[in-house]
A and B are shown apart, each in its own frame.
Chain A
Amino acid sequence: MDDHSAPAIRAEAIESLLIEKGLISAADIDEVVERYNDRIGPLNGARVVARAWRDPTFKRALLADGTAAIAEFAFEGAQTEKLVVVENTDRVHNVVVCTLCSCYPWAMLGLPPRWYKDPAYRSRIVREPRRVLREFGVDLADDVEIRVWDSSAEVRYMVLPQQPANAARESEAELTARVTRDSMIGVEVLR
Chain B
Amino acid sequence: MTAEFSLDGAAAPPMQNGELVFDAPWQGRAFGMARGMAERGIYAWDDFRDRLIAEIGAFDRDAEAIVRRGGAAPEFRYYEHFLRALETLLVERAILVRGELGARVHAFEERPHGHDHAHAHDHDY
A101 near B11: Cβ-Cβ < 8 Å: no
| Chain B residues near A60 (CB-CB < 8 A) | none
A180 near B14: Cβ-Cβ < 8 Å: yes
Q: Residues of A with Cβ closer than 8 Å to B? A: 1-2, 5-18, 21, 23-24, 26, 28-33, 36-38, 41-43, 45-46, 100-103, 109-115, 117-124, 132, 135-137, 153, 176-177, 179-182, 187-188
Count the B residues whose beta carbon is within 8 Å of the partner chain — how many?
Answer: 75
A-B contact pairs, 28 of them (CB 8 A): A1-B101, A8-B26, A8-B124, A9-B109, A10-B83, A10-B87, A11-B121, A12-B29, A14-B87, A14-B96, A15-B33, A23-B37, A29-B32, A29-B33, A30-B32, A37-B18, A37-B28, A41-B15, A43-B15, A103-B49, A111-B17, A113-B12, A117-B78, A119-B60, A135-B5, A177-B14, A180-B13, A182-B12
| Chain A residues near B96 (CB-CB < 8 A) | 14, 17-18
Known: A41-B14, A176-B14. A9 touches B37 (CB 8 A): no
Measured in the bound complex, the distance between the Cα atoms of B110 and A109 in whole Å is 40
Residue of A2, A10, A30, A109 with most chain B CB atoms under a 10 A cut-off: A10
Nearest CB in chain B to that of A39: its residue = B18
A32 near B39: Cβ-Cβ < 8 Å: yes
| Chain B residues near A30 (CB-CB < 8 A) | 32
B9 near A187: Cβ-Cβ < 8 Å: yes
Nearest CB in chain B to that of A34: its residue = B32
Known: A15-B33, A33-B28, A119-B59. A1 touches B105 (CB 8 A): yes
Measured in the bound complex, the distance between the Cα atoms of B52 and A38 in whole Å is 24
Within the complex, what minimum Cβ distance (angstroms) separates A154 from chain B?
Answer: 9
A135 near B2: Cβ-Cβ < 8 Å: yes
B31 near A36: Cβ-Cβ < 8 Å: yes
A114 near B78: Cβ-Cβ < 8 Å: yes
Measured in the bound complex, the distance between the Cα atoms of B98 and A182 in whole Å is 40
Measured in the bound complex, the distance between the Cα atoms of B77 and A75 in whole Å is 30
A180 near B12: Cβ-Cβ < 8 Å: yes
| Chain B residues near A117 (CB-CB < 8 A) | 76, 78
| Chain A residues near B101 (CB-CB < 8 A) | 1, 10, 13-14, 17
Nearest CB in chain B to that of A136: its residue = B9
Measured in the bound complex, the distance between the Cα atoms of B101 and A18 in whole Å is 10
Within the complex, what minimum Cβ distance (angstroms) separates B118 from chain A?
Answer: 7
Measured in the bound complex, the distance between the Cα atoms of B86 and A101 in whole Å is 14
| Chain B residues near A132 (CB-CB < 8 A) | 1, 5
